Amino acid sequence: MVGTLALGTRSPGERFSAADLSVLADVARQAAIATHAARLADDLQSARERLVLAREEERRRLRRDLHDGLGSTLAGMALYAGNARRALTQGALSGEGGDAAQWLDRLEVRATEAVADIRRVVHDLRPPSLDELGLVGAVRSAAGGLALPVAVIADEPLPAMSAAVEVAAYRIAVEALTNTARHAQASRATVRIRADEVLVVEVVDDGRGLGVAGSPGVGLGSMRERAEELGGSLTVTTGAGAGVVVRAELPNRARTQAR
């Protein structure tokens, strides 16, 4: 139901005729269609606004990372390189090595920091492990770094999927596993991945469940947003007996288009 149509007779005690009821039924149908269309338009506008906000936040984060992190590191490298060059020049004139070795050591450290910053920025844009290992392998690799036994069960090979769906599935799975390791006091977790027209990712643990504050942990809103911005859904329920089940369903449009 999208709304209620309130009616009143022209005079007290009057009843609607069959013709009146027929006209009112037509009006109600048209009003329902118009109201539903208006609601869809509002939802679409809200979705566009969320997308724009998310995009601009991502751009601001990337700009901050490049300017404050990588930019500062590269500026320091240029400074150290200049100091090393001057030290070498002075050493050549005086016949001594000068401080060139110290400046080159500092330059090496800053170059290592710059490489680490670049790798972090690249990972935030799209985890390299997705391209190297695929979705299932990337999730297994991330799970291997947690202090929690994790079994990853998947239909392999997975069908073709868009890059956006693949990244969202990876982020959701890793976020759910991270929450489990940090908050759920679980002894194990299982990730199940299957795909056809819909890519389904389930993360199940045997931890404290939903009844305890702090579980399933922070990041739930972020996971839900990742699913919904692709037209999917995310649910968090109590598992069979104990624990939590995080289930994401993402439309696999690349699979649908291929057919």
Q: Are residues 81 and 187 in the same domain?
A: no
Are 149 and 187 in contact by the 8 Å Cβ rule? The answer is yes
Is the model's pLDDT at 95 over the cut of 60? Answer: no
Whole-Å CA distances, 70 to 11, 62, 82, 178? 77, 10, 18, 27
Of the residues 99, 125, 151, which one is the last residue of a structural domain? Answer: 125
Q: How far apart are CA 196 and CA 212, in angstroms?
A: 35
The model's pTM: 0.64
Q: Are residues 97 and 208 in the same domain?
A: no
Torsion of CA 30, 33, 35, 38, to 10 degrees: -130
Listed range (68-72, 179-183, 199-203) with the worst mean pLDDT? 68-72
Listed range (39-53, 89-103, 111-125) with the worst mean pLDDT? 89-103
What domain range includes position 85? 58-125
Structural domain includes residue 45: no
Q: Are residues 247 and 133 in the same domain?
A: yes
Are 173 and 134 in contact by the 8 Å Cβ rule? The answer is no
Q: Are residues 164 and 62 in the same domain?
A: no
Using a pLDDT cut of 90, give the percent of the chain over it: 29
Per-residue pLDDT tens digits for 141-166: 999 999 899 999 998 889 988 888 99
Q: Are residues 115 and 133 in the same domain?
A: no
Are 248 and 172 in contact by the 8 Å Cβ rule? The answer is yes
Of the residues 68, 100, 125, which one is the last residue of a structural domain? Answer: 125
Q: End-to-end distance of the chain based on CA atoms, in angstroms?
A: 35
Is the model's pLDDT at 193 over the cut of 90? Answer: yes
169 — pLDDT class (breaks 50, 70, 90): very high
Are 215 and 204 in contact by the 8 Å Cβ rule? The answer is no
Which residue spans within 81-183 are E strands per DSSP? 150-154
